[in-house]
Amino acid sequence: MLEGSAPDREYFSEQAAVGIVHASPEGEILTCNARFAEIIGYPLEQVPGLTFKENRTPEDGPSVTEAFNRLWSGQADQVSLETRYIRKDGSSTRLKVTASLKMNGDGKASYLLAHVEDLDSQKTAEIAPVVPAKVQVTGNECYRKVFQTCPDAVLIAQLSNGTIVDANPAFLEVMGFAREEVIAKTSLELEMWADAGDCSRLSGLLHQDSGCQDLEVRLKRKNGEVFWGQLSASSTAIEGVSCILIFIRDISAAKAEEEEIRNLAFYDSLTSLPNRRLLWERLRQALIVSIRNRCKHALLFVDLDDFKSLNDAMGHHVGDLILQETARRISGCVREVDTVARLGGDEFVVILEDLSQTPEIAADQAQTVGAKIRAAINQPFVFEGRECSTTSSMGITVFGNESESTNEVLQQADIAMYQAKAAGRNTMRFFTPALQASVNARTAMEDDLRRAIKENQFSLYYQPQVDRGLLIGAEALIRWNHPQRGIVSPCDFVPLAEETGLILPLGKWVLDTACAQIASWANRREGAHLTVAVNISAREFRQPKFVEHVLTTLDRTGANPQNLKIDLTESMLVDKVEDVIAKMTELKSHGVRFSLDDFGAGPASMAYLKRLPLDQMKIDRSFVEEILVDPISGAVAQAIIAFSKAMGLSVIAEGVETEEQRAFLAALGCHSFQGYLFSHPLPWGDF
């Protein structure tokens, strides 16, 4: 029976004309094949324990010693030498020995494998018949021993169905199984592959080439522990049955060493951050990505202001702790995709990836993160009961165009950092003056906006909407009465408010004011049917409590939900479709209506729009503006009207300035309008 059989002589070269010796690294013979015993004239069982050394003739001393030394010192993987060997009967024979050392996972020699040819009787050996039956039996015993004592894990499985026929003690030990747990099972049943694909990869290789060498795979021990194994496999016949013979060597230690070497090469040992080399690589990647997706990236060069004096005053040990803590703080301010690296000393570099495509906005995003990092570094450090603090200087460059090189980008940030130092330290500077100016302007505007919200410098204007000459409602449009600049258009501050989150308090005020207006109209007979359209930004709509917020506002102000229309823009409908639909449906069930503001300008498709519970489509001002001169704008308007009709939605054209535009739209079937032809947006009193 196959079970328990040793590998047959075919595999272990029992019939080979050469002698095969398995020896300890020091040269003490552990086992050999029958041919080797025959060459040296010893009974097979007397060979183990012999050494190559003691049976050599004195004359070939130094050259052989030298060859083995080269093997042991690692200078050669394999050596080939000729020596004279004294046989048991005292005669000598000339041997050609080809030897190699086999290493185990942690790089230590585990055994020596030698092929031995008898040069004096080569002719005889070549024509010698296959080994007689008597030796085969002894040979099987011998190779059973090799199998049993081999330091590598050996597994024999049937090729046809993968069931395990035998496993040696090394296999059982490394995998943590008892012999009876593995026999007649498959490797899949033992769940020994950590990566499921490896088993099929191996069988693919076996079918293609009848074997593979040194495949690195992750294996799972019985206790679930995963380790790296180096696997060699070949197919062979055992008692006429095709089998796979698998050798596995545990190379976890070598892998760990490899990882350590990689870490040393790419990571800073003090902070574990990427070092200059890895930074270079990431920067190169970022440049490639930016060419593809046109997004800007930013590079921030951070230098601590007082590190040298701190290091001198507090000692190098504390200096190291400060650097480690700084590394942690910087890393805590950026996203997973960003890179924080340490160049050496107290110099850190941050790459912020995938910022806006617009350089000014990207600069603003970088400045926000930069400010966060500086604030984090400014926090006091407390080590061993002692407190100290430092500030940082930061240079920022926004990059991402084809002509830039990694060198240039680093240099730009470096220059900007020196400008920050020159400006009195504890500050940040942008590489280009234009970006610096734009960042300054946005920062000033943001400050103004915060103050404006606090001081309530806003008012709500109303632009009439008419249908066939009758007033049907109004769109509420926000205005900022800036103390110095006068009335500021929402186009100039709504995007900034959206970005900074200030749109939330602002939008709350708008909805509140509009609902209060609706409630006051309801008391007048001529106003009860009017709807007020309120623009809602994506950021407002995405708030988890948006629905609740609208409903409580309606409730508090006493406004009839039927009179409220929410203007959504197409761009906000792109992600989380299900969430958008759920929120719209919920509000609609209370009577609130929805209009789609800028359809045609964004990416939404008709198929997608069909799913939204809308009430109205707006024809955007940009199409109306061109409608008489540009056939495409005309066609878009026509398509929106047709779509609205088909879907049972109302349609309104926005930005109608002339009678010709109105007539054209009316001829296409659109009868609701909003625009300067009828009225500009008006303060509540004038409306």
Binding site for Mg ion (CB under 5 A): 535, 567, 597
Rounded to 5 degrees, what angle do the CA atoms 57, 60, 62 make?
Answer: 125
User: Which residues, at least 6 apart from 39, have a Cβ–Cβ distance to it below 8 Å?
Assistant: 19, 85, 93, 95, 116, 118, 121
Decide whether 271 or 569 has the Cβ nearer to Mg ion. 569
**Contacted entry of ligand C2E, Mg ion, none for residue 465, CB cut-off 5 to 8 Å set by kind:** none
Query: CB of residue 465 vs Mg ion: minimum separation in angstroms?
Result: 11
**Contacted entry of ligand C2E, Mg ion, none for residue 182, CB cut-off 5 to 8 Å set by kind:** none
**Contacted entry of Mg ion, ligand C2E, none for residue 360, CB cut-off 5 to 8 Å set by kind:** none
How far, in Å, CA of 402 to CA of 263, rounded? 31
Query: CB of residue 667 vs ligand C2E: minimum separation in angstroms?
Result: 19
Decide whether 367 or 535 has the Cβ nearer to ligand C2E. 535
**Contacted entry of Mg ion, ligand C2E, none for residue 395, CB cut-off 5 to 8 Å set by kind:** none
Decide whether 168 or 616 has the Cβ nearer to Mg ion. 616
Decide whether 280 or 678 has the Cβ nearer to ligand C2E. 678
Decide whether 75 or 456 has the Cβ nearer to ligand C2E. 456
Decide whether 431 or 458 has the Cβ nearer to ligand C2E. 458
Decide whether 187 or 563 has the Cβ nearer to Mg ion. 563
Query: CB of residue 458 vs ligand C2E: minimum separation in angstroms?
Result: 9
Decide whether 394 or 614 has the Cβ nearer to ligand C2E. 614
Nearest-CA neighbor of 341 among 421, 418, 286? 286
In three-state form (DSSP H/G/I as H, E/B as E, the rest C), the secondary structure along 226-248 is EEEEEEEEEEEEECCEEEEEEEE
Residue sitting closest to Mg ion (CB): 567
Cβ-based neighbour number of residue 37 at 10 Å: 24
Q: Which residues bind ligand C2E (CB under 6 A)?
A: 463, 477-478, 489-491, 494, 507, 510, 535, 537, 567, 597, 621, 654-657, 675-676, 681
Query: CB of residue 657 vs ligand C2E: minimum separation in angstroms?
Result: 4
Nearest-CA neighbor of 598 among 610, 609, 587, 589? 609
* Residue 103, amino acid: M
Query: CB of residue 491 vs ligand C2E: minimum separation in angstroms?
Result: 5
Query: CB of residue 659 vs ligand C2E: minimum separation in angstroms?
Result: 12
**Contacted entry of Mg ion, ligand C2E, none for residue 489, CB cut-off 5 to 8 Å set by kind:** ligand C2E
Decide whether 338 or 597 has the Cβ nearer to Mg ion. 597
Decide whether 274 or 675 has the Cβ nearer to ligand C2E. 675
Query: CB of residue 573 vs Mg ion: minimum separation in angstroms?
Result: 14
Which residues lie across from 300 on neighbouring strands? Answer: 350, 396
* Residue 4 falls in which region: left (phi positive, over 0), alpha (psi -120 to 50) or beta: left
**Contacted entry of Mg ion, ligand C2E, none for residue 400, CB cut-off 5 to 8 Å set by kind:** none
DSSP assigned state of 7 = P
Query: In this structure, what token pair is assigned to residue 332?
Result: 């805590």
User: Which residues, at least 6 apart from 320, have a Cβ–Cβ distance to it below 8 Å?
Assistant: 270
Question: Do 601 and 633 meet the contact criterion of CB atoms below 8 Å apart?
Answer: no
Task: List Cα–Cα distances, 437 to 65, 356, 408, 434, 441, in angstroms.
Answer: 77, 18, 22, 5, 6
**Contacted entry of ligand C2E, Mg ion, none for residue 667, CB cut-off 5 to 8 Å set by kind:** none
Strands 531-535 and 564-568: parallel
Question: Do 364 and 374 meet the contact criterion of CB atoms below 8 Å apart?
Answer: no
DSSP assigned state of 563 = G
* Residue 509, amino acid: W
Q: Is 243 exposed, middle or buried (0-12, 13-18, 19+ CB in 10 A)?
A: buried
**Contacted entry of Mg ion, ligand C2E, none for residue 448, CB cut-off 5 to 8 Å set by kind:** none
**Contacted entry of Mg ion, ligand C2E, none for residue 478, CB cut-off 5 to 8 Å set by kind:** ligand C2E
Query: CB of residue 463 vs Mg ion: minimum separation in angstroms?
Result: 9
**Contacted entry of Mg ion, ligand C2E, none for residue 56, CB cut-off 5 to 8 Å set by kind:** none
Query: CB of residue 483 vs Mg ion: minimum separation in angstroms?
Result: 27
Task: List Cα–Cα distances, 600 to 301, 366, 441, 596, in angstroms.
Answer: 42, 32, 32, 10
